[in-house]
Amino acid sequence: MLVAVLPALTRNTQISASAPFCAVIGAGPAGLIAADVLSRAGARVTVFDHKPSPARKFLMAGRGGLNLTHSEPLEIFLTRYGAAAERLEPIIRAFPPDRLREFCAELGEETFIGTSGRVFPKSFKASPLLRALLARLTARGVRFERGAFEGFVGGNTLSLRAPGDGSRALAPSAAIFALGGASWPRLGSDGGWAQPFCAIDVAMTPLAPANCGALIRWSEHFQGAFEGQPIKTILLRHGAAAARGDLVVTRAGLEGGPTYALASSLRAEVERDGGATLRIDLRPDASAAELARKLERERGKQSLATFLRKTIKFAKIEMALLREASPLGLPRESQALAELIKNIPLGVTGVAGFERAISTSGGVRFDELDAALMLKRRPGVFLAGEMLDFDAPTGGYLLQAAFSTGFAAGQGAARYLGLAA
């Protein structure tokens, strides 16, 4: 169960009643850091969210240890954002991974670098960091209210609806939208904002599931015997793209880091051609020639499964996967069998939907925004987080982009309001 961690509201008397008013729509990481920047600059800030407690998806991410960012060199880090890297580069350079770690330390949450290079809070939880940030915001006078964004009512006047109430019109001096994408919609980000933005002619790339599992039609035998079991230390390929790690067999197909990394390219091919092919290398640290030499040993009366288990430490699930991909029988010749072990083809029918996706691709196109993430056609309206048209892998890149774009939008709004950011 997600626990509401919203602290009691307090008024910061240092914020003047005449200070410019900014509405932040969305209480996830991007919205909260934008509110932090604005409140530090002296704006009156209210954060609106349609859920009763903030940052629900952030808290869910914390259940897995909360991978905040990555420690790899920034030049490499920036390449992880694909086609959006050029637009995100100055934004992430202004609030890079090291600055995010400093931000966490300011809130009393020290971080560390794991063996994979990923960065985590020492508590391995999201809730302490979130509680500390919310406490700082409320101490500065930031208010939190329920409100679901319904659309624009002429100019920059916003229509919001609170539970049990009718719509209300809100006319802030500036507004920052950080409503997320459409993944895990039960946690709050359902993509419902897309229609109101399209209604004011904001160009968008359609939202689509990203960082999600691959859908594969397993045989009844394989599904029944191996659902929930891991396939360890493989290399997964789709076209020229590849990703290494562990997989988990699900009733619907495959989950795990490698499938998440290839999900967007898989989805694009399925949409274009009606299907796609994944290829699994079960022994990425050995060449086909090396495997073939081992497989040329005398088998005697051993079954093939026993021979592979003893010769190259084959697990039952690996043997079953070979048979699953070769319904007409496995190759008898050593070289051909070795090549199959390193190149098992699996037909993919699609990718998991929004309800199971870690993130979404698509969103408002960057050419709709200026360098401060303000809508060109709506001065005073800023966007941040997964509402923007970028696609990033897991590994800390998603949260880093959320914090960095929220920071940029907060600074942009502060400058727009004539405040020192």
Which CATH number fits the domain that encloses residue 90?
3.50.50.60
Give the span between the Cα atoms of 111 and 123, in whole angstroms. 8
Structure confidence at residue 2 as a pLDDT band (50, 70, 90):
very low
* Domain assignment present for 9: no
Q: Residues, the chain, total?
A: 421
The pTM for the full model equals: 0.91
Q: Are residues 198 and 65 in the same domain?
A: yes
Give the span between the Cα atoms of 125 and 29, in whole angstroms. 14
DSSP string, 262-321: HHHHHHHHHHHHS-EEEEEES-TTS-HHHHHHHHTS--TT--HHHHHHHHH---HHHHHH
* Domain assignment present for 12: no
Q: Are residues 92 and 200 in the same domain?
A: yes
Report the percentage of the chain scoring pLDDT > 70.
96
Q: Are residues 154 and 184 in the same domain?
A: yes
Mark which of 331, 351, 371 sits at the end of a domain: 351
Supply φ then ψ for residue 340, to 5 degrees: -65, -40
Q: Are residues 267 and 382 in the same domain?
A: no
Whether pLDDT at 121 is above 80: yes
pLDDT value at residue 156: 84
Q: Are residues 367 and 346 in the same domain?
A: no
Domain count, the chain: 2
Mark which of 308, 330, 351 sits at the end of a domain: 351
Three-state secondary-structure class, residue 245: strand
**46 strand-pairing partners:** 23, 143
- What confidence tens digit (pLDDT) does each residue in 129-141 have? 999 999 999 999 9
Average pLDDT over residues 264-290: 97
Average pLDDT value for the chain: 94
How does DSSP classify residue 75? H
Nearest to 318 by CA among 344, 285, 352, 288: 344
Q: Are residues 374 and 252 in the same domain?
A: no
- What confidence tens digit (pLDDT) does each residue in 140-162 have? 999 999 999 999 998 889 999 98
Give the CA angle between residues 366, 270, 400 to the nearest 5°. Answer: 35
* Domain assignment present for 11: no
Structure confidence at residue 420 as a pLDDT band (50, 70, 90):
confident
* Domain assignment present for 200: yes
Q: Are residues 326 and 373 in the same domain?
A: no
Whether pLDDT at 280 is above 70: yes
Domain that holds residue 167: 21-209+357-416
- What confidence tens digit (pLDDT) does each residue in 27-51 have? 999 999 999 999 999 999 999 999 9
* Domain assignment present for 14: no
**Interhelix angle 288-295/304-312, nearest 10 degrees:** 120
Q: Are residues 119 and 223 in the same domain?
A: no
* Domain assignment present for 4: no
Q: Are residues 381 and 302 in the same domain?
A: no
* Domain assignment present for 7: no
Q: Are residues 195 and 230 in the same domain?
A: no
Q: Are residues 230 and 173 in the same domain?
A: no
Q: Are residues 235 and 162 in the same domain?
A: no
- What confidence tens digit (pLDDT) does each residue in 184-240 have? 999 999 999 999 999 999 999 999 999 999 999 999 999 999 999 999 999 999 999
Report the percentage of the chain scoring pLDDT > 90.
91
Mark which of 336, 351, 366 sits at the end of a domain: 351
* Domain assignment present for 54: yes
